[in-house]
Amino acid sequence: MAEQYNAGQIQVLEGLEAVRLRPGMYIGTTSSRGLHHLLWEIVDNAIDEASNGYADRIHVTLHQDGSASVYDNGRGVPVDVHPTLGITGVEVIYTRLHAGGKFNHDNYQYTGGLHGVGASVVNALSSWMTVDVFLNWTHYRMAFASTTDPKTGKVHAGEPTGPLEKLGNTRKKGTLVRFLPDPTIFEDVVFHQELVARRLQELAYLNRGLQIVLTDERVTDPARREMSFRYEGGISDYVRYLNEDKTLLSDEVIYLEGRRDDILCMAAIQYNDGYTENLYSYVNNIPTSEGGTHETGFKTAFTRVFNDYARRTGRLKDKDEKLNGEDFREGLSCVLLTMVPNPQFEGQTKGRLGNSEVRPAVEGIITEKLIDWLDNLKNQDMANRILEKAIRAAQARDAARKTLETRRRTNALEATPLVGKLSAARGRHPEDNELFIVEGDSAGGSAKQGRDSRFQAILPLRGKPLNVEKKRLDQVLSNEEFRSLITALGTSIDATFSLSALKYHKVIILSDADQDGAHIRAILLTFFFRYMKELITAGHVYIGMPPLYRVQKGSQIWYAYDDRELEKITSKAGRGYQLQRYKGLGEMNPEQLWATTMDPAQRKLMKVTIEDAAQADRLVTILMGDKVDPRRAYISQHADFNRKDQFEEKTRKATGERSV
């Protein structure tokens, strides 16, 4: 350690070096999520061209060599020389942080990329990048690469490999960016087609009439090699897509659009017969999963206008209390898109809009347009259906509130019924404590004996909990297993949910690796998603990963958590090993369960996150809803029916092995 600290020891990172040294500061993570963030940055630049009226076509290609390219038929990035830097616009945009045309509203009225770091960060974190510009009938190209000095080991990030070239004449216009993510930076350098396709489809819905094409050169199946997305109905088509596996209150989509003070707001609303609200909001095409001032303005206007309408039509009497916003939004699916000239996002992930001026603007737009919709005689039937549903929701909410109060008074939601069921942790610090939700008494007994009671609690489930999809809150509260879980967590539920009261900051679902275990896991995740979503978004829900296999040869024992790991272990073990496939946690003794599944130093946990709320809701509806055909189709497409056969084949291959 240096004893003296002086100015000469201060390191100055020039150009794009800082990005490579601390990539997490710019893209959040170097995992697969960070890899795809690179693609989103380039795609968002193309989307900004389209949403501002300069482009109507975007083509994304996943190439066989691992690179990705994005083309838009917009204006093309500038190729002239910057007046003060003395280099071309292409070089400025792709090599200088905080440089770009999005600070000036003459170039872009609405944009998602505000800081001028996206394109240059992608360049910095790529092995190479090429930028083709089609402008003024001329094809230009500039190439960049990250190289390492063999003498000093210093990495020169994203430097031009030569000057901007003129390659000839062209009729095309726009920009084509192709880049290869640097494998020394990222843990995973494989773009996932399904994830990319979902995001591009979402962007096509948000930008009415824009055509987005995805080509995956890695795929040989023609049906999956190229996909095209274009929706003339925009977000109205989007909300129909989100509701296509639900039972609708009406086929009608309520579409509201208006502008105030350069703030543009569009909302597409459709009701289903479910009991949950699904509001998906976007600002300048960026998902705002944590809401913000635009959502607040929408909800305030929606609640006030419908309450006024209920009074005006006599559905609510003078003596009746106003209905809550949650009552009017029960069964609502809504896509809210707001375009803001200078959006201020809170947090690095841009999850929440903070602009104070957006709330009154959105509130005013929705109020005006919703009143106009309600005043139209052809909409009276739909408006009355919404009112009837809201009144029933208020009655159910009141019944649930009374149930909660009654059970609290009689200790039905306190610790008494958990005696002999919950084995609580001795620790008094929630941030250190873990709750294992375990399937059955047998596994629960092993877990109780194997745990570290200083910080680990065990809650065994006796029987399969209720599938809460399409159930009201009062019905959920009548289920003993969920009452026990709510009490153990300490957070209450739904509108009364309080994250600050959480007693265990790790809530771990630990179920068997069979069909029943998977079903219980799905039921619990559905419950958390519908009634305690903040528990997931705050990062408190995990899935325990017990091993699938135990391999023994002589005195040596290995555990494999998946088939790929089993292949490595059996190859290493050679012939003559014994192979056991665990059918349930109850087959493990307490020591094995601790060593493989509960010991924080050795276990594997899968953190449950919501990357795409709309897609998550759709999957929950398909898998847990009451429509059979969508579920059958999904299972047929995604299920691996060969897993058991693969295990049986493995047991036959080794000489002297024993399958248990």
Contact 60, 70 (CB under 8 A): yes
Cα pseudo-dihedral 278, 280, 281, 282, rounded to 10: 180
d(CA 353, CA 291): 7
Closest CA to 510 of 416, 580, 557, 442: 442
Active-site residue (options: 439, 481, 617, 657): 439
Taking the C-alpha atoms of residue 37 and residue 318, their distance in angstroms, rounded to an integer, is 53
Give 218-249 as a DSSP string.
T---HHHHEEEE--TTTHHHHHHHHTTTS-BS
Which residues are CB-neighbours of 46 under 8 A, at least 6 positions away?
Answer: 55, 58, 70, 71, 72, 74, 175
DSSP track, 102-154: TTSTTT-SS-S--SS-HHHHHHHTEEEEEEEEEETTEEEEEEEEEEE-TTT--
Tokens representing residue 136 in the block? 């003024």
Residue 470 φ/ψ region, left for φ over 0, alpha for ψ in the -120 to 50 degree band, beta for the rest: left
Q: Distance between CA atoms of 291 and 220, rounded to whole angstroms? A: 41
Q: How are beta strands 541-544 and 605-607 bridged, if at all?
A: antiparallel
Q: Which of 512, 587, 617, 657 is catalytic?
A: 512
**254-260 and 226-229 strand pairing:** unpaired
Q: Which of 514, 534, 626, 648 is catalytic?
A: 514
Q: Which two tokens stand for residue 499?
A: 């994250």
Evaluate the CA torsion angle 186, 192, 195, 197 in order and state its sign.
Answer: positive
C-alpha dist (Å) from residue 539 to 133, 478, 504 = 43, 27, 12
User: Could you tell me the two tokens for 537?
Assistant: 């978004």
Sign of the torsion formed by the C-alpha atoms of 509, 510, 511 and 513: positive
Strands 263-271 and 254-260: antiparallel
Our answer to whether residue 512 is catalytic in this structure is: yes
User: How far apart are alpha carbons 388 and 400 in whole angstroms?
Assistant: 18
Q: How far apart are CA 146 and CA 139, in angstroms?
A: 24
Q: How far apart are CA 170 and CA 71, in angstroms?
A: 15
DSSP 277-288: -EEEEEETTEE-
- In the residue annotation, 56 being an active-site residue is answered as no
Q: Which residues have a Cβ under 8 Å from the Cβ of 159 and sit 6 or more positions away?
A: 15, 95, 144, 145, 146, 147
- Catalytic site includes residue 516: yes
Catalytic residue among 187, 261, 414, 516: 516
- Is 398 in the active site? no
Cα distances (Å, whole numbers) of residue 32 to 36, 179, 201: 6, 16, 20
Residues labelled as active-site residues: 439, 512, 514, 516
